[in-house]
Amino acid sequence: MIERRRLLKIAATGIAASVATPFVGRTGWAATPTHTLKLTFADTQSHPLYDVLKRFADAVAMRTSGAVEIQVFSLGQLGSGTNILTGLQTGIIDFCAHTSGFIDSIFPKFQVVDLPFLFSDSASAERMLDGPTGAKLLDMLPSKGIYGLGFGHWGWRVVSTIDKKAPEPADMKGLKIRVQPGAIFAATFRTLGASPVAIDLTEVYLALSQRVIDAVETPMISLAATKDDEIVNTINMTNQVYNVGVMMASKAKFDGLPKEAQDAIRAASIELTKDWRTTIAAKSDEIAQRYKAKGMAIVEPNRDDYRKATESVYAQFKDIIGADLYASVMKDAGHA
């Protein structure tokens, strides 16, 4: 009888310990997830980021022994590109990977990363994003009910057209072009004499087909993922914006998770940043080669002339961005 009581006491102690520390010391997968969360991103399932985000979800599940399950949804499944962020703020959506152009509408200061021809290469962009200036940008988000978990890359934004080659800035005049909602994108193309139109990514294919627009400025990867490359036949490699991606969490939902789950998600987000960037870089090169082999016109524009032609955009947004943040970014990007 004494031995039986001793065994029951040991068992009870073990159960209490497992309840107190649900993610510590587990060696196997949980039978069912304790938390099921929704993650969406601003592109289609054909986009390589979809697989990157699934690997992120797998990493979170592994780190939490299956207690946290993250379901990955593509653009349109949980809302349009614009209302994804609203859903994140209200807690309807738990996580999202989105582009800086949509974040600009909530945080105007974020437009600083979308200044035209700001970065000369990926290395300079990533040094800024991974340093103190990038941390300042993420520190803005909690005030609107969002946590920033890290920066990724959607690819360099280029101008893809139906027949129109634009090696010089003057060639943009009169071009009807789809842009992201961020005001800085519209300002950039208006400065070049184009007619910018904000259309949700899911509607671009039809707009191109019906010639409502005759150009779109997206990374080449998005061009392939949305099948817009079935309509456009000319890619002007302007590389006007290093298209920053941000992995974000609903503050309300994230704060409601156990600390162990929060730590696991943050750790997996660090891994995600590297996977996201390297995957996009490799796939961008792959798609560029595919387009060349396909016979699409790949135009190398005069970027110095484009940069000079859009310098006035900087002055338009300097006060909105704020003097301190503007100066930090200019210095990090090599403009000061």
Please tell me the predicted confidence (pLDDT) of residue 43. 83
Residue from 80, 135, 78, 120 nearest 102 by CA = 80
Other CB atoms within 10 A of residue 278 CB: 12
Phi, psi of 215 (to 5 degrees): -160, 160
| Band of residue 111 on the pLDDT scale cut at 50, 70, 90 | very high
- When comparing pLDDT for 81 and 277, which is higher? 277
The pair of three-digit structure tokens given for residue 206, joined into one six-digit string:
């039809």
Report the predicted TM-score, pTM, of the whole model to 2 decimal places: 0.85
Please say if the pLDDT value at position 321 is more than 50. yes
Share above pLDDT 70 across residues of the chain, in percent, rounded to a whole number: 90
**Mean pLDDT value of segment 226-255:** 95
Q: Are 41 and 49 a contacting pair, CB within 8 Å?
A: yes
Residue from 127, 109, 143, 134 nearest 247 by CA = 134
Please tell me the predicted confidence (pLDDT) of residue 336. 65
pLDDT digit string (tens) for 142-166? 999 999 999 999 999 999 999 899 9
Please tell me the predicted confidence (pLDDT) of residue 7. 36
**Mean pLDDT value of segment 117-135:** 96
Please tell me the predicted confidence (pLDDT) of residue 289. 94
**Mean pLDDT value of segment 78-90:** 81
Burial class (CB in 10 A: 0-12, 13-18, 19+), 97: buried
Place of tokens 């390589």: 48
The pair of three-digit structure tokens given for residue 231, joined into one six-digit string:
């309509």
Task: For the chain, give the mean pLDDT.
Answer: 88
- When comparing pLDDT for 93 and 75, which is higher? 93
Please say if the pLDDT value at position 23 is more than 50. no
Q: How many Å apart are CA 263 and CA 135, to the nearest integer?
A: 18
For the chain, how are helix, strand and coil distributed in percent, rounded to 5? Answer: 55, 20, 25
How does strand 176-179 pair with strand 297-299?
A: unpaired
| Band of residue 79 on the pLDDT scale cut at 50, 70, 90 | low
Q: How many Å apart are CA 58 and CA 52, to the nearest integer?
A: 10
DSSP H helix total and E strand total for the chain = 14, 9
Most confident of 81-90, 176-185, 280-289: 280-289
